[in-house]
Amino acid sequence: MRHIIKNRSKVIIIVSVIVAFTLGFSVADSDYFFKVNKSIDVFGRVFKEITFNYVDEIDPEVFMNTGIEGMLKSLDPYTNFISASEVSDVDLITTGRYGGIGITISMRDGMIVITSLMEGYTAQKQGLRIGDKIIEVDGKSLLNVKLEDVRHLTRGEPGTEVRVKVQREGEQKPLDFVLIREEIKLKNISYSNLIQNEIALIKLDRFTRTAGDEFRLAVKELRLKGEIKGIILDLRDNPGGLLDAAVNITSKFVPKGSLVVSTRGRKVGSEQKYFSVEEPILHEIPVAVLINKNSASASEIVAGAIQDLDRGIIVGSRTFGKGLVQNVVPLPYNNQLKLTTAKYYTPSGRCIQEIDYIHKDKDGLFTITPDSLKKNFFTTNGRKVQELGGIHPDTTLLEPEPSLLYLKLMQKAMFFKFATHYVSTHSELPEDFSANGDLCTQFKNYVRENKFTYEDQVETKVEEVRNLAEKSNYGKEIIDGIQALKLKIATHKENAFEENQKELVRQLRQEIYSRYKGEQGRIEASYMDDNQVQVAVGIIRNNNLYKKILNIQ
């Protein structure tokens, strides 16, 4: 009898295994699904017990969102729950379109201030200005209103009316504007021009669905101005966007049929490869791509492909290091889940994701693979490149670290405020305008009049030492010595405007140009003394150096 029972148990086990494989998953998968279902049951029971029986009444939706956020915090920062009210923001990222009046706003000194205007839209056409302080929208005061709430007030269905009241420097009374909302189309390309008569410079700010079309049109327009003998693609500060858009942009440079990027999830057979499916419009023209620490995601796909395929040189500093792919999953009640489903790999096979968000060290910090453990990969021409940690440039050219004075002035929005003041006293940009030492002196006087002050760390520490010395009854000689050091520090700060004149003037020029020439003017001003652009131009023009960097035989 025991023998029969034993055999029966074996049969049951064998049948269970066969059924598991027949359904398409293994015993290990079955255990995993059991854990999933078990956890859902426990979570649901805990949720019900608390929402029905907790001592105080709880909003079930808020409580559920808190639980979801808690779970997602254990994953990467790009996996997010998107509530129904936030879905429009996702649409904006993918389509680059929304209904609005064409302004960018920020909070300055407790006021809602217009920081940029989109050319050709109602706000710019009706005469709103950068620096205007919005005090009312449709009769509603904006005092103590959150920035996001103001965006919801100004955005809406195209064709609808919105009334805006602003305070403007130089005007005694508030100004009223009646604006009509329009469909705003965010441009992927904020600047394109021929520099030094033969080098195309294109600044790409994002990757929405229309990025490839915009790029093709920009190249076409530049060719009407003259022959293009080289191109600089500026991806600095570009946070990325759609993977398909990145493939589309890369296809404008590389041979048709080239592998641009591949993605792989955790499941076997999940790999997808993306190839260039069109003939390049910039065939064999020297290419330089500008990158920095804020170039991420789709920007890194483009830079990585151009580098791995030896299609151009990469200039600047190491990129952000985001090699994760997200898909948007629809959820009940118009909610969505942005879920990381794969990692992407450049044509050479390397993944450039820097941070391992799942594994943490003993201090609870996310792990980063040291350089000594990173694998080497090779470009088409045999150049060595490394995995993990972003895209490293072929020519490293770090952006200068900003001075403390510059940072403090930016924190207090003094450049912005001075430009607003300048426009209030100059209806047009003077023909003899020059961003030089005289402008810096005007700026220095302006910030003094506005009671601008700041403390640096050295000054703070010296004051702490002086207080400690007094409490410890140090002699007068030591106290006087510390006081003399404080005076020297004050003199150093007084001279900081002159010592950092070039840096300050550069920012002033950008702010002032933006008031008269819009965002195009700001960008144009930033390129006037851009060292990375000049280095890229020099390499493109030096054919021998260009080929040497790319190991072209």
Q: Beta strand pairing status for 384-386 and 376-378?
A: antiparallel
Catalytic residue at 308? yes
Cα gap 45→246, rounded to integer Å:
45
Quickly count: other Cβ atoms within 10 Å of residue 370's Cβ. 9
Quickly count: other Cβ atoms within 10 Å of residue 515's Cβ. 19
Task: Output the CA–CA distances (angstroms, integers) from residue 223 to 227, 272, 278, 286, 391, in the order listed.
Answer: 6, 35, 20, 15, 30
Determine which one of 258, 276, 297, 526 is catalytic.
Answer: 297
The set of long-range contacts for 438-446, using a CB threshold of 8 Å and a minimum separation of 24, is 439/505, 439/508, 439/509, 440/497, 440/498, 440/501, 440/504, 440/505, 440/508, 442/418, 443/414, 443/415, 443/418, 443/497, 443/504, 443/508, 444/497, 446/414, 446/417, 446/418, 446/421
DSSP for 259-292, written as a single string = EEEEEE-SSTT--EEEE--S--SSTT--EEEEE-
Say which residue the tokens 């294109």 belong to: 202
Burial (CB < 10 A; 0-12, 13-18, 19+), residue 167, is: middle
Determine which one of 76, 234, 308, 530 is catalytic.
Answer: 308
Cα gap 102→104, rounded to integer Å:
7
Q: Which tokens go with 540?
A: 């493109």
Task: Output the CA–CA distances (angstroms, integers) from residue 186 to 121, 284, 402, in the order listed.
Answer: 11, 30, 30
* Residues in CB range of 419: below 8 A, 6 or more apart: 130, 131, 508, 511, 512, 514, 515
Measured torsion, CA atoms of residues 363, 364, 365, 370, in degrees rounded to the nearest 10? 60
Best CA proximity match to 189, nearest among 169, 168, 217 = 217
∠ CA 445-451-454, nearest 5°, is: 100
Catalytic residue at 322? yes
Whether the CB-CB separation of 184 and 116 falls below 8 Å is answered with no
**Which residues are designated catalytic?**
297, 308, 322
